[in-house]
Structure 1
Amino acid sequence: MKLVFPALLAFVLSAVPAGAEAPFHIGIMTGTVSQSEDSLRGAELMLERYGNSSEGGMITHVTYPDNFMSEMEVTIGQLVGLADDPKMKAIVVNQAVPGTAEAFRRIRERRPDILLLAGNIQEDPAIVTAAADIAVNGDDISRGYLIPLAAKKLGAKTFVHISFPRHMSYETLVRRRAVMEEACRDLEMKFVFETSPDPTSDVGVAGAQQFILEKLPAWLEQYGKDTAFFCTNDSQREPMLKRIAECGGYFVESDSPLIYSGALGIDLSQERGDWPALLGKIERVIVDAGQGGRMASWAYSIDYTCSVALTGFARKVLEGKAKVDNVRELMNCFTEATPGVGWNSSYYTDAGTGVRNRKLVMVYEDTYVFGRGFLGMTEVDVPEKYFRIK
């Protein structure tokens, strides 16, 4: 069942009163600026709003290593270390990189009183939710259909999906790719899979970005200007957007508009935190460059929103204002964090068994096309067959 929640006008959770000692602490782990800037910015907002625990506030913020795949024990150690704080009552991890489930398992053994929440999970859903109280992920299955459909609406004839083996080992990302391929077939679009270097490999983020900068013009020449591009890594979207703006093609959807700042050289320092103003400034640059109707984004970053909404939800649960299994209250926190934008959500359904996992909530928002406006993708009914594709 799909749920639709209206947007609220303001994010209403109040800050800790000045001079007051927070009654409990909430730990937040995010990526760094280079790996997951938006999740970090959301955590910074929570620090600003609720105060640093070291100064009597509510929030303790840590980051996982950029090379989290090779430094998994560092990630686990940092998370488990948060449980040493006797006032720690909730931990939010966003993005929930590999190692999160094991860390949660160890924390659960030591501190069963701590609420454990995971955003944008990168491990098997069954493993994560066995340890977490609740997890939230972008609805990769619905988007597997909706993104190619949006590309078709914009005029694309070919859809290129770019990824690397690590991401293609994640169940949700593999299923999304399979859904995209089937959707392209049904929509009479050509589907192409291209491989890129992993930013966590020896080439690093810079090498992975350089690969995209060099390859995208060749792909456009090979597949044509009516080609839409999609990649599974945040750091590789920036060079992709840069080349699309220069050379043509379509970029259907980013789950954060901030990616356009570095890609197009847009100074958003004055607009940071004001998402409507930020979106408007990006739109003016894109339209002035003649790229209106070819580039799109979510209006609010999912990484930013997960950091803010999951922290807000954790606070509501700890204060007795919500129960951890109340998806409506959870989604209210999402809409409170994103004024003017509604969200769709559904429980994750296992493709093999058809069983719904009520501890994993799948979410997405509408696609905003610069120079055109919202496409109304949250109003589209995704055909049931796509949820059964493995």
Structure 2
Amino acid sequence: MKRFLSIFLVLCLLLSVVGCNKPTEPATGGDTPAPAETPATETPEVSDVIPYDGNGKVAIVTNTLSQNEEEYRSAQQMVDKYGEEKILHVLWPDNFMAEQEQMVSIVSKIASDPEVKALIINQAVPGTNAAVDKLLENRDDIFIVYCTPQENPPDVSSRADLILQPDELKMGDNIPVQAQKLGAKTFVHYSFPRHMSQVLLSTRRELMKAKCAELGIEFVDATAPDPTGDSGVTGAQQFILEDVPKMVAQYGKDTAFFSTNCSMQIPLIKACVDEGAIYPQPCCPSPYHGFPTALGIESGDYSENSLQHVIDETTRILDEKGVLGRFSTWPVPVAMMGTVASTEYAIKWMAGEIADKDTLDIKVLEECMAEYAGVSVVTSPYAETANGDTVTYDNYRLIIMDFLTYGE
């Protein structure tokens, strides 16, 4: 578990916040707000559920449906597949930044169940390390997975057995290049101080600025309200809806927009469609992330057929709106892939198919990802360089994919 690494390097990460069976309520404290108008999903047939084999349980902690539907739905897919005896789905509090004690309580309650042998956290929001530290005081036998962590990578790597996230720094180059391919002459980057205090996100922004300068694209650094602040998610979304038209009026339709926040993607997509602007990628790359709700598409049960339906309908609607060829994303929902692939890996480990908890079997991991994605998936280890020395974290796996451009 590499618990004794102590590397004084500072790089933090990303992503603010983010079906059929009801998730377990968070331990202690208030109720999680009920999601409104969620798309219906079908309850699986009994024959579709893999019987509990007694090897142990997997606990999956996700954000609420209102914060990130993909993370929530990916956990529910695992519940549907393996049953509630095998998979325990638990929710972070909606306003996790103000509920750190509740996060500790949630993880402690999970650890108190001796049958839980794996813990998957998607997203590993700020405060996850403190919650996991409490778990590690009493148990060191749990296989711990962080997806899209937002705390210092060396600290994260010393606690989790597996970390998964998109390669944010590589995106610093890839997203402006994609924006230029879509016709962008200006690039607007929406974020807020909490995200920009995370060095990995601020570093990605600097890489975007440098790449835009190299490509001859004007870079606009725009500050939006923090959805966890006083204005809440609604206020942040309303800001985007009102600000994008102003930006387009100032810089023209050949303006690409990017936001670091999940809850801003729906209004950002809608505003870009309405204004005829450019949208190279959601913060969490996926055909599901923002597109269905913004365009009025039924997401279905998030199966392979549903994914293709969402892609086809997105293409059709963007064509009708006259903006085909100006929107893109990744071909599969990377947030969902993180939950599904790490759950399947953990189940293989619990069944004895993977012998060593502390040494990843990268081949098996990538096979789990490829089975979900339907395409080959290759990961690379996270590395930091300081004073000429490079430290590589083999349990911290970075993911990058080619773009799906609607209309190509």
TM-score interval, normalised by the smaller of the two chains: 0.7 to 0.9
SS at match of 2:322: coil
1:91-110 deviation line (CA, Å, top 9, x unaligned): 00001001111122221221
Give the distance between the partners of 2:87 and 2:68, measured in 1 at CA: 19
Give the distance between the partners of 1:117 and 1:283, measured in 2 at CA: 35
Query: For residues 178-197 of structure 1, what are the structure 2 equivalents within 5 Å?
Result: 178-197=206-225
The alignment status of 1:346 with 2:383, answered yes or no, reads: no
The alignment status of 1:34 with 2:85, answered yes or no, reads: no
Give the distance between the partners of 2:169 and 2:67, measured in 1 at CA: 24
CA contact (8 A) 1:275 1:299 kept: no
Residue 311 of structure 2 aligns to which amino acid in structure 1? L
The alignment status of 1:249 with 2:285, answered yes or no, reads: no
Give the distance between the partners of 1:371 and 1:297, measured in 2 at CA: 12
Residue 264 of structure 1 aligns to which amino acid in structure 2? L
CA contact (8 A) 2:266 2:294 kept: yes
CA contact (8 A) 2:62 2:122 kept: yes
Percent of pairs with identical residues: 38
Using the TM superposition, give the Cα deviation of residue 270 of structure 1 relative to its aligned residue in structure 2, in angstroms: 6.7
Give the distance between the partners of 2:315 and 2:103, measured in 1 at CA: 37
1:279-302 deviation line (CA, Å, top 9, x unaligned): 112111111221110011122212
Residue 119 of structure 1 aligns to which amino acid in structure 2? C
The alignment status of 1:355 with 2:385, answered yes or no, reads: no
Q: TM-score, normalized by length of structure 1? A: 0.87
Q: Please name the residue that 1:336 is paired with.
A: 371
Q: Please name the residue that 2:401 is paired with.
A: 365
Q: TM-score, normalized by length of structure 2? A: 0.83
Q: Please name the residue that 2:11 is paired with.
A: none
Q: Please name the residue that 2:347 is paired with.
A: 315
CA contact (8 A) 2:124 2:147 kept: yes
CA contact (8 A) 1:276 1:299 kept: no
Residue 121 of structure 2 aligns to which amino acid in structure 1? V
Higher relative contact order (CA 8 A, sep 6+): 1
Matching residue within 118, 142, 145 for 1:90? 118
SS at match of 2:165: strand
Query: For residues 294-313 of structure 1, what are the structure 2 equivalents within 5 Å?
Result: 294-313=326-345
Using the TM superposition, give the Cα deviation of residue 21 of structure 1 relative to its aligned residue in structure 2, in angstroms: 4.9
The alignment status of 1:48 with 2:83, answered yes or no, reads: no
Distance 1:43 1:69, change over 3 A: same
Distance 1:166 1:15, change over 3 A: farther
CA contact (8 A) 2:292 2:310 kept: no
Residue 192 of structure 1 aligns to which amino acid in structure 2? V
Unpaired runs of 5+ residues, structure 2, are 1-46
Using the TM superposition, give the Cα deviation of residue 272 of structure 1 relative to its aligned residue in structure 2, in angstroms: 5.5
Give the distance between the partners of 2:198 and 2:361, measured in 1 at CA: 27
Give the distance between the partners of 2:286 and 2:407, measured in 1 at CA: 17
Q: Please name the residue that 2:155 is paired with.
A: 127
Q: Please name the residue that 2:294 is paired with.
A: 263
Residue 160 of structure 2 aligns to which amino acid in structure 1? A
Using the TM superposition, give the Cα deviation of residue 277 of structure 1 relative to its aligned residue in structure 2, in angstroms: 2.3
Give the distance between the partners of 2:49 and 2:294, measured in 1 at CA: 37
Query: For residues 1-390 of structure 1, what are the structure 2 equivalents within 5 Å?
Result: 17-18=50-51, 20-52=52-84, 57-254=85-282, 255-258=285-288, 259-269=290-300, 274-322=306-354, 323=356, 324-339=359-374, 341-352=375-386, 353-372=389-408
CA contact (8 A) 2:298 2:310 kept: no
Residue 45 of structure 1 aligns to which amino acid in structure 2? Q
Q: Report how many aligned residue pairs link the two structures.
A: 353
SS at match of 2:114: coil
Using the TM superposition, give the Cα deviation of residue 15 of structure 1 relative to its aligned residue in structure 2, in angstroms: 7.4
CA contact (8 A) 1:230 1:251 kept: yes
Give the distance between the partners of 2:77 and 2:96, measured in 1 at CA: 24
Give the distance between the partners of 1:220 and 1:354, measured in 2 at CA: 43
Give the distance between the partners of 2:300 and 2:116, measured in 1 at CA: 33
